[in-house]
């Protein structure tokens, strides 16, 4: 099987119960939501032992991303094949009907806080939907000390020490590891992050999990050990326009773990790159990829992985389309 040439791969979403979630991902993704409870996250590309994304199209349908990394690593990852044991990014859609916990993720500089097999967690959000009451908190206000923050936990005033953003669709927010953050009150975002599930909760707004009848546990000491009080490089980012024709390409994020561009256009344009994998996320409109004489239809909400062997190919919009294209940085 590992001699089979790889092709553009679509992955099925993995829905996750979250007490703060809603049901709005049904407007974005074609796969029906389970049950009738709150669904907070759709993991749309996940190489986690407990949540393995499965291919949803073509001869490899049903194969997991982990199996692809094992059997087709060179075809899939190209020049980055030797750098990664598992696919290094975790991609999600989040529907935060209520506020998430105020939380922080450790950086790779804190190995003592990171379980074996995990990494630090830098992430970023692209806002898909938001209302007037929606909020994103990203980083501490200048001058906030550890003492200020501990006092605010006792008094329930932690929001007073956080940089507040009223999000609108299209906004992009960078959350480097070590940044205190949260979001919620009817906001839907796309998230790109390091492939890590290490989160330390500082404060949870009095949430009680309906499934357990209990508050969720906090990890205050680990969170404080993870916070970068000296720097705050997170928050709203200003898009950098790279091209305007035949597609408007804006660079939203460029860090040591991932790059992400937003592409908007109505005429055919190029996606992908030679000898490196790329991920496409359709957040508005639809179209198809042309590769090797075959056409692969892409609809709103879908996530496609272009293996390194696919290289650059042509995307044909059916109408006005908005894509996110995600890349791994070249090794230094």
Q: pTM for this one?
A: 0.95
- Residue 141: partners with Cβ closer than 8 Å, 6 or more residues away: 161, 162, 163
| Predicted local confidence at residue 61, as pLDDT | 97
Question: Do both 229 and 263 map to the same domain?
Answer: no
| Predicted local confidence at residue 329, as pLDDT | 92
Among 236, 254, 273, where does a domain finish? 236
* Cα(14)–Cα(56) distance, integer angstroms: 12
Q: What is the dihedral of CA 36, 40, 44, 47, to 10 degrees?
A: -110
The structure tokens listed for 6 are: 């790889």
Q: How many domains does the chain have?
A: 2
The structure tokens listed for 268 are: 């055919």
Question: Do both 195 and 258 map to the same domain?
Answer: no
With respect to residue 322, please indicate whether it lies within any of the assigned structural domains.
yes
With respect to residue 4, please indicate whether it lies within any of the assigned structural domains.
no
Question: Do both 164 and 59 map to the same domain?
Answer: yes
- Tell which residue, 14, 8, 165, has the closest CA to residue 93: 14
Burial of 274 (0-12, 13-18, 19+ CB in 10 A): exposed
| Predicted local confidence at residue 1, as pLDDT | 53
| Predicted local confidence at residue 79, as pLDDT | 95
CATH code of 225's domain: 2.60.120.10
| Predicted local confidence at residue 5, as pLDDT | 86
Question: Do both 231 and 96 map to the same domain?
Answer: yes
Q: Which residues of the chain have pLDDT under 50?
A: 332
* Cα(129)–Cα(24) distance, integer angstroms: 10
| Predicted local confidence at residue 231, as pLDDT | 77
Question: Which of 97, 135, 201, 264 does the annotation list as catalytic?
Answer: 201
Full domain range(s) for residue 39: 9-236
Among 236, 261, 291, where does a domain finish? 236
Is 85 a catalytic site residue?
no
Among 236, 254, 287, where does a domain finish? 236
| Predicted local confidence at residue 332, as pLDDT | 47
| Predicted local confidence at residue 3, as pLDDT | 67
């Amino acid at each position: 099987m590992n001699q089979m040439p790889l092709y553009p791969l679509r992955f099925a979403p993995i829905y996750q119960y979250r007490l703060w979630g809603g049901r709005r991902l049904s407007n974005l993704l074609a796969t029906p939501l389970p049950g009738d409870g709150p669904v907070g996250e759709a993991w749309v590309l996940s190489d986690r032992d407990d949540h393995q994304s499965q291919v949803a199209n073509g001869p490899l349908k049903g194969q997991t991303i982990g199996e692809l990394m094992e059997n087709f690593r060179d075809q899939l990852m190209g020049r980055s094949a030797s750098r990664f044991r598992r696919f290094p990014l975790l991609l999600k859609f989040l529907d935060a009907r209520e506020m998430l916990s105020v939380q922080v993720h450790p950086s790779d500089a804190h190995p003592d806080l990171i379980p074996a097999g995990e990494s630090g967690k830098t992430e970023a959000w692209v806002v898909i939907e938001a209302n007037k009451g929606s909020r994103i908190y990203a980083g501490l206000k200048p001058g906030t000390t550890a003492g200020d923050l501990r006092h605010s936990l006792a008094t329930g005033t932690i929001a007073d020490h956080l940089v507040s953003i009223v999000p609108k669709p299209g906004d992009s927010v960078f959350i480097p590891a070590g940044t205190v953050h949260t979001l919620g009150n009817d906001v839907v975002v796309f998230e790109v992050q390091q492939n890590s599930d290490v989160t330390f909760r500082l404060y949870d707004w009095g949430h009680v999990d309906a499934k357990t009848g209990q508050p969720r546990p906090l990890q205050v000491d680990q969170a404080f050990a993870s916070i970068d009080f000296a720097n705050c490089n997170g928050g709203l980012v200003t898009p950098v326009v790279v091209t305007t024709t035949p597609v408007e390409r804006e660079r939203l994020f460029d860090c040591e773990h991932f790059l992400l561009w937003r592409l908007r256009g109505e005429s055919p344009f190029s996606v992908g790159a030679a000898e490196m994998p790329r991920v496409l996320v359709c957040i508005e409109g639809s179209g198809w990829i042309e590769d090797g004489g075959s056409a692969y239809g892409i609809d709103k909400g879908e996530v496609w992985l272009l293996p390194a062997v696919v290289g650059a190919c042509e995307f044909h919009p059916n109408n006005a389309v908005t894509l996110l294209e995600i890349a791994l940085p070249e090794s230094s």
